[in-house]
Structure 1
Amino acid sequence: MKTQQITQNQLMLFFILYFFSTLVGFGASHLIYLSQYDSVLVLCISALAGIILAFFVIKLAMRRPNEFFTHYGKEIFPSWIHIPIMVIFFISLLQISALILREYEDFIVQTYLPKTPNWAVGCMFGIVVAVTARLGFENLFRIAQGLFYLVIFANIGNMIFIGKELQWERWMAFVTNHSGQGIFVGSYATASFFGEIIILLFLFPYLTQKHKTFKSIIWAAIFSVIFIASNIIWLLLLFGPNLSSHLTYPMLEMIRYIRIADFIQNLDHLLISIWATTVFIKITVLFTISLQISAHLFRLKDHRPLTFSLTAVIIALSLNMGSGTAEIQNLFTQSWSTFSYFIESIPLLYLIMDTIKQSLKKKSNKKLKES
């Protein structure tokens, strides 16, 4: 399998899109509901938590920079522990892919195709994901690199044209309205999204200039916060916290405020199509990592034979994940963050165990030399 295919620039731009896509599209109302005007502070705290976790993940990966975690994990924990953990990662990544796919299905059906069944949208989107996953990580990150600039231009244009509709007198609330509980609860819920940085562990063998990875992650986190926070601020200034938190898709409602002269009354179709591509990139990368794990577990040289069968699995999971949007949102508010923290803490256990083993090995070698 080829390695050294993803540049640091591609990695940084990908993670900006990765965090931006779902936090802005699906998570904005929930974040505002929990944290109100503290949402920007919550984003900063959550991004910092993601950076700290990335530091430890990179430290573990740098010990065997050209090996896959699925393989070298057996050197740290016994196979009877490591293999079940890899199965947990495999199922979790499939589940996350299916969950995001379900959110996208509900969005499209409720907003644009009300008479279309979810399975039709899921199948169409799933086929695109499967075909793209067969191309491999290198092409995926190239797509993300090209898409990034389009997303940024669309985001800046959206903010410029919405500016005249904002209630600027609400600015003072960002200084005066604070809640310790809102900051804690919001940070607990949002940090789990930035904690998904652990996927870096599975991408590491593909990276060039591995020593610059932590720097790339820091910049990705900073720009992610800037782009996400700018949209959250605009939402709060336009709708206020109460209305924003009760809209299912507040970003869509904000986009619909755009008016450019008399001949362009609504740009939501164009901007939503650009945003939907970022969701597609996120699902495809998560799905491709799960394919990689399954191929390694079954000792296959290529993951592509598994692509379409596992695509059918995520489509089926997405359709059976809940009865509606309310139940999916309930999953996020009740248990998703706790589940995410359990998964995201696993690399830390590997790092601790590997550190202990290396320390014992050094002591043993030192005693042998002395004797």
Structure 2
Amino acid sequence: MSLISNSSGMNEGKDVGMQRIRQIELGLMFVLFNFSTAAGFLIGPLTSTAGYQGWVSIFIAHTGGLLIACLSIAYVKKRQNEFLIHYGKEVVGRWINFIMMVIYAFFFIHLAGIVLRQATDFLVQIYLPSTPAWVIAGSFGLVIAIAVRSGIEAIFRCAAGFFFVIFSTATLVPFLVGKELDYHRGIALLTNLSLGDLVQTSYPFVPWFGEMFLVIFIFPFLANAEKTPRTLLWSSMISLLFFEVYFLLCILLFDEALMAHFTYPILEMLRFIRIGDFLENLDPIVVAIWIAGLFIKISILLYMAVFISSQLLQLKDSRPLSFSIGAVMVGMSMHSVKNLIELNHFITHAWVNFAYFIECSPLIYWAISVVRGRFLSRAQGGKDAV
């Protein structure tokens, strides 16, 4: 996909032809984006942290992440036909904007590497124990780099196609596992609530939903961009509904103590599903479909890093960077931590504060622009008075 250069970005950004992503495609992508990692990798840590009141922590985390994204969108809507990477230097200065964009690119590469490492560890532990992890990560990374090289339109079209397959399967699972649940545990969902602990149990998970702020970097690509907050709202409600349902299914099936010891609670739940004698377990089928959601999320994250890097280098085409930055992503995923235990500890502790800073940093642009606007208006008023 041909991208605008830094010198021509202001003018070309106003071209309606750039608005290639429809709001429905954006919404379907974010449903997959939020649900793919939340359902697969966060339910275990969430149960260890929040226990039975995890269903409330999920709601608070979703709400907090949506608020972060919408506040950032409220700022970029003022110049919705221009890229933040271009006009940001007018707000905070050229070098500060450059440094911030480098940090954003690193954040997206690092986050893509984290999700890739989670997917790799899952496949190695559960299905491919004799396969070297670097082979799986490298193969996955190659496919993702090819998707990124195909352009943002291809990723969003692919997400829209995968959505109906993934969520048709996700909708079917609760009906198949319902007879195995212990509904008497439902009362514990209310009796174990501790309002004083909700902030502590929700804090580590807000950034995973605040990742939706990434849309501000591709805002000119969106058709009807002014409707983006509404799109994020309904997509968040759908992903929240499915996440809540799966959390409740797991905790009613396993109980808090047992569920907290599972690395992948949903996988264990899927193994309780048996349809007749011809299909003992559904988990390989469901996992294969779920992996498609991870593919979409990692592709979007890597595309953001490639796009920002290409603009910093003033390239008209981002495709030459796809494989090189994809290789960096694979390297970071394999060498950032030693094992899954370190990765989960890093995600729920050190990474959280860094993610909060990055996801809330667009508000710094907003605050500086407000202060500068008031200062300039007062200076202009003083000149007029003279």
How does the TM-score come out when normalised to structure 2? 0.93
Partner of 1:157: 172
1:209-244 deviations in Å (ceiling 9; x for gaps): 111111111111211211111000000001111111
Contact kept, 8 Å, 2:39 with 2:266, in 1: the verdict is yes
In the TM superposition, residue 53 of structure 1 has moved relative to its aligned partner by 1.5
**What is the distance in 2 between the residues matched to 1:255 and 1:362?**
62
1:36-67 deviations in Å (ceiling 9; x for gaps): 11111111111221222222211111121111
In the TM superposition, residue 361 of structure 1 has moved relative to its aligned partner by 3.0
Contact kept, 8 Å, 1:4 with 1:205, in 2: the verdict is yes
Partner of 2:308: 293
In the TM superposition, residue 369 of structure 1 has moved relative to its aligned partner by 4.9
Partner SS, residue 27 of structure 1: helix
**What is the distance in 1 between the residues matched to 2:29 and 2:308?**
20
**What is the distance in 1 between the residues matched to 2:22 and 2:280?**
40
Segments ≥4 residues shifted beyond 6 Å: none
Determine what percentage of the aligned residue pairs are the same residue: 35
Partner of 1:316: 331
2:261 paired with 1:241: no
In the TM superposition, residue 362 of structure 1 has moved relative to its aligned partner by 3.3
How does the TM-score come out when normalised to structure 1? 0.97
Contact kept, 8 Å, 2:70 with 2:213, in 1: the verdict is no
**What is the distance in 2 between the residues matched to 1:253 and 1:177?**
24
2:56 paired with 1:41: yes
Paired amino acid for 1:222: M
Distance of aligned partners of 1:182 and 1:253 in 2 relative to their CA distance in 1, 3 Å threshold:
farther
Partner SS, residue 232 of structure 2: helix
**What is the distance in 1 between the residues matched to 2:300 and 2:63?**
23
Query: Which of 196, 214, 217 is the equivalent residue of 1:199?
Result: 214
Partner of 1:131: 146
**What is the distance in 1 between the residues matched to 2:293 and 2:376?**
45
1:318-339 deviations in Å (ceiling 9; x for gaps): 1101111111111123212111
Contact kept, 8 Å, 1:252 with 1:268, in 2: the verdict is yes
Paired amino acid for 1:92: F
Contact kept, 8 Å, 1:36 with 1:182, in 2: the verdict is no
Partner of 1:177: 192
Contiguous gaps of at least 5 residues in structure 2: 4-16
Partner SS, residue 63 of structure 1: helix
2:234 paired with 1:219: yes
Partner of 1:264: 279
In the TM superposition, residue 370 of structure 1 has moved relative to its aligned partner by 5.3
Partner SS, residue 265 of structure 1: coil
In the TM superposition, residue 363 of structure 1 has moved relative to its aligned partner by 3.4
Paired amino acid for 1:336: W
Query: Which of 231, 234, 244 is the equivalent residue of 2:246?
Result: 231
Partner SS, residue 300 of structure 1: coil
Partner SS, residue 293 of structure 1: helix
